[in-house]
Amino acid sequence: MKDFSEIKEQVKAKLAEVADSEKLSDFWQTYLGKTGVISGLMKEMKSVPPEEKPLFGKAVNDVREWAQELYRTKQAEIKEFELKHRYEREAVDVTMPAAGSTQGNLHPITLIKQEMIEVFAGMGFEIFEGPEIEDDDHNFTRLNVLKDHPSRDMQDTFWLTDDLLLRTHTSPGQIRTMDMKKPPIKVLVPGKVFRSDSDATHSPMFSQLEGLVVDKGITLCDLQGMLDSFVQSIFSDTAKTRLRPSYFPFTEPSVEVDVSCFECGGKGCPLCKGTGWIEVLGGGVVNKKVLENCDIDPEEYSGLAFGIGIERIAMLKYGISHMGMLFENNLDFLSQFKA
């Protein structure tokens, strides 16, 4: 009677090579599976004489049980080994210091915008936000910036179509407000504006805060008074302002307000282009034509308007010399503005 010693040697040798559960499962397939070597032995039954069949069958079963026992022992070993390694791999050192958490903060533009809005809200202004894509009518024509007039070139425009553009200023908010409500009007229009312009103090996208007051008897004195308290609230007493006569199509008379340069203290430097002054806002008495364009009777009402560059105020207030810093999202820079 066969003792299958050859197969047994093979099984022992193969099992000795098995080192992980994947190989162990291969081993099972090869020797103990339905189509494995040991099951294959049963096929030899055909050639065994009838009286020996029971013995042969028992011998095959013995081999199977023997091999299964070896398999189970090996399986237990491998399981223990793999579990141990997994525990080692996944071990957590609870005594390790935790990774530090960082807290964000508001962007300097947001901070200064909020501060500016607060100052004017204290004077009774409401907030209105207009669209960033404007049409020629609101951005130019009804603000008295007529077609083919040289004042159109004051602002380099990103045109989208013959009629649509990225608003070059927040002044179209004046028109939209006057279309929506009748005087008395006291509104602030904060928002992003776009111009094809870029250097130390200009960026193709920046922010403005527009102001409009329309009521009976509004004069340039009201504008001056408001801007005085604005500058005092934002810069305290250290900054000086200067009003210069200027020209804007939508105001008459028009003024430009300068603030003394923080970089050089007024002596003259590249930032202020040697003048000691930095222009921060334009304003004036609303042009009668603009009131008429909005069906407001200039004989009954008058208005004042102003437009403030928010980045410029941030640069002055925080001592930022290059406008790009406000748009580059450098975290070392931005984290200085934590409250």
Q: How far is the CB of 106 from ligand DAH (least distance, A)?
A: 25
Nearer to ligand DAH, 296 or 305 (CB): 305
Q: How far is the CB of 284 from ligand DAH (least distance, A)?
A: 5
Q: How far is the CB of 104 from ligand DAH (least distance, A)?
A: 31
Nearer to ligand DAH, 190 or 284 (CB): 284
Spatial separation of the C-alpha atoms in residues 164 and 201, rounded to whole Å: 26
Output the residue with the shortest Cβ distance to ligand DAH.
307
Q: How far is the CB of 300 from ligand DAH (least distance, A)?
A: 20
Q: How far is the CB of 280 from ligand DAH (least distance, A)?
A: 11
> Rule CB under 6 A: which residues touch ligand DAH?
169, 171, 210, 248, 250-251, 282-284, 305-307
Nearer to ligand DAH, 308 or 326 (CB): 308
Nearer to ligand DAH, 24 or 293 (CB): 293
Nearer to ligand DAH, 11 or 208 (CB): 208
Q: How far is the CB of 194 from ligand DAH (least distance, A)?
A: 11
Nearer to ligand DAH, 41 or 293 (CB): 293
